[in-house]
Structure 1
Amino acid sequence: MLYSELTVRTNRQSAELVAYFLEEVCLPDGVSIYDINDLYDNPSWDYMDDVAERPYDKEVLVKGYCNTEDTDSVLDFLRQKFATLEGAGSLDITVGTVDGEAWVATWQATFKPIETEKIVICPEWQTVTTDKKVLLLDTGVAFGTGQHETTSMCLEYAEQLDLGGKRVLDVGCGSGILGLSALLLGAEHAELVDIDQQAVDIARHNAEINGLDGKATIEQGNLTEKTSGTFDVVFANLTADILAGLFEDIVSVVHDGTVVILSGIIDFKADYVKEMYGRLFTVVDERAKGEWCALELVLRRH
């Protein structure tokens, strides 16, 4: 399967914002920033081969990937967003194609086990020796591995919660990493929902290889439309704008005392999300990694 590779030229000051726009419409965990200054500023290198510079350019490059059939709509979205930016470099966009299987094979070679406080996330094709709980993961085209700051913050929250016997909802589940981790941490049942059928297929596969398919319901749909009842814990690792649009949907699946973990929030939109959710939820905790923020909310009792 072929994918479109989009490369945007920008400057260092605007790279994170450009990456945020690509995160909105490109494959999850597939957006990367190539800033040659990061090479020159690395104090641990006393020699750098010319080969190391090849992926870079005089401008900062931001790369993202999307399904080929989505390319035109993705480009339209990006051009609309870029029209609002000033002093952000040329913002030239080039489009190429990459072979999905070759891309995944290259990416798999770099995906190593990730250890958190209570869980080791291990690629399905590798083995690991540990006393901790192990979540085997096949992410397909990188639908969430735990490497991204937004996912790792959600995992930190999950490990701090008492999930024993709880019903959990994972909204926009991707690989299923959050919902399945919640089951490993003691949740009684998890419902996982994603609008992308490929992500749903991957999440179902991951549930099966971990022996969790009997405790997980995984459906393709428009986020909360496929869920039933209310939940004790809700994970939504998306983007600030999508979270804002989902406010009413999330409210419809919670009850007094429900804990909601929101992530994928770019730092300059954190107040926007807090203001919206603050109508009904109390912010219990807030944390940040890099330019990303995550929130722990509790529905106020009425």
Structure 2
Amino acid sequence: MGERGRQTMEETWLKYILLVDRDAEDAFVSEVLASAYTLGWVEPQIEVLTTENGYDYAEKTDGPVIAYLFEPLRESEAEHVEQLRNYLSRWGEQVRLKEVETVTAENESWKETFHEVQVGDWWIAPTWTPPEALAQARHVLWIDPGAAFGTGYHGTTQDILLLLQEWSPAGKRVLDIGAGSGILSLFCVKNGARQPVFAVDLNPQSEYQIRVNLANNDLAEDAVEIVLGDALEPDVQERLPREADLILINIGGDEDVAMLPLVRKRITQGGTVILSGIVQWNRDKVLAAYEQAGFSLVAERHSDEWVTVMMKDARE
């Protein structure tokens, strides 16, 4: 099992760091995935903010995203770079080569960042995990993070998984907002949620990675309905289920509050919402908004400064 998806890698690779304008991102990613280049991942540029309560971070929405491409070194570096520049020329200034690195077995070395992690009775593991590392594991969810960066390492994700093990999603209609690589959606499917589970994410890479992880876990492709876009947009909401018994939102405290009208509209009577990505100094604001809308606090978990809450629709 731990050998799933393993490939024979070249010894030396070229790593290209690109700046991609946001309005070209979808088309660029789609085309690169079908090209001879290996797309490692795409990430936004992050700005660290210092506040009176500590630190926070924000995505820079007015600049390009960063894309990482790889290819095995078979000719001179200069020849490879020239070929890449010719390939990128179709996007003009929308895609720019920022930096080139020569790395050893990059497609294997970057995987060292991601390893198996135990969360309650479950293990979250990439497919390249050595079998002996999971010899005693009872339940394994195979997650290759890829470009969508849902690894299972972050405290918010682990706290949601722990809550889902205490309050099973079995038989529930699930809406997962901010799905990333699909870790929470797939966990719900594997634990008896009604299919399809709806997984929503802004990142265009999310669809590809969720499909990879469905296959990794021997799950049917239609077990998860993938919806790309902003769940606050009316055209995206038209593609969401009319009712959900369980809604998961793991984005950020302000985003949790922004999603409240959608949650209120789609949650079934007596349904449950799990909110995460909340920092301690934003907790009271999030809880107050949801309590005012008719939800009551059921459970709460903390990981460092991060807060995860489970709230239940308290309407009679």
TM-score normalised by the chain length of structure 2: 0.65
Answer with 174-183 or 134-143: which moved more.
Answer: 134-143
TM-fit CA distance, 1:107: 3.8
Counterpart secondary structure, 2:289:
helix
Larger Rg: 2
Aligned to 1:21: 57
* CA shift for structure 1 position 161: 0.8
Matched residue, 1:75:
none
Distance 2:18 2:155 in 1: 24
**Residue in structure 1 matching 2:215, options 191, 202, 208:** 208
In the TM superposition, 1:81-230 aligns within 5 A as: 106-126=109-129, 127=131, 128-141=134-147, 143-189=149-195, 190-212=197-219, 213-223=221-231, 225=237, 226-230=239-243
1:23-50: per-residue Cα shift (whole Å, max 9, x none)?
x559xxxxxxxxxxxxxxxxxxxxxxxx
Report the CA distance between 1:8 and its aligned residue.
6.7
How far apart, in 2, do the equivalents of 1:205 and 1:258 lie? 30
For 1:242, give the aligned amino acid.
Answer: E
Q: 1:222 to 1:6 in 2, by over 3 A?
A: closer
Contact 1:104 1:141 in 2 (8 A): no
CA displacement 1:43-88 (0-9 Å, x = unmatched):
xxxxxxxxxxxxxxxxxxxxxx97249xxxxxxxxxxxxxxxxxxx
Q: Tell me, what secondary structure is at the counterpart of 2:278?
A: strand
- Percent of residue pairs identical: 28
Task: Give 3-state SS (helix, strand or coil) of 1:278's partner.
Answer: helix
- Aligned partner letter, 2:179: C
Deviation of 1:144 after TM superposition, in Å, equals 1.4
Partner of 1:39: none
**Aligned counterpart, 1:241:** 254
Tell me, yes or no, if the aligned pair for 1:171 and 1:194 is still in contact at 8 Å.
yes
Question: 1:149, 1:104 → 2: CA distance?
Answer: 26
Name stretches of at least 5 consecutive residues in structure 2 with no aligned partner: 1-15, 20-43, 68-97
Deviation of residue 229 (structure 1)? 1.9
1:124, CA displacement in angstroms? 1.8
Alignment size in residue pairs = 233
SS at match of 2:271: strand
Output aligned runs, 1:267-286, within 5 Å. 267-279=280-292, 280-286=294-300
Q: How does 1:3-42 map to 2 (within 5 A)?
A: 16-17=54-55, 20-22=56-58, 24=59
Q: 1:135 corresponds to which letter in structure 2?
A: L
Q: CA deviation at 1:219?
A: 1.8
Q: Structure 1: any 5+ residue segments left out of the alignment?
A: 27-64, 70-95
Label 1:238 to 1:164 Cα distance change in 2 as closer, same or farther (>3 A): same
- Cα gap change, 1:25 to 1:265, in 2 (>3 Å): farther
Letter in 1 for 2:198: E
1:274–1:203 distance in 2 versus 1, CA, 3 Å: same
Deviation at 1:205, TM superposition (A): 1.6
Is contact 1:3-1:98 (8 Å) kept? no
Q: Tell me what 2:274 maps to.
A: 261
Give, in whole Å, the separation in 1 of the partners of 2:60 and 2:252.
10
SS at match of 1:204: helix
Asked if 1 retains the 8 angstrom alpha-carbon contact of 2:147 and 2:209, the reply is no
Q: Give the residue type in structure 2 aligned to 1:187.
A: A
| Alignment check: 8 A CA contact 1:234 1:261 kept | yes
SS in 2 for 1:178: helix
Inter-CA distance 161–118: structure 2 relative to 1 (3 Å threshold): same
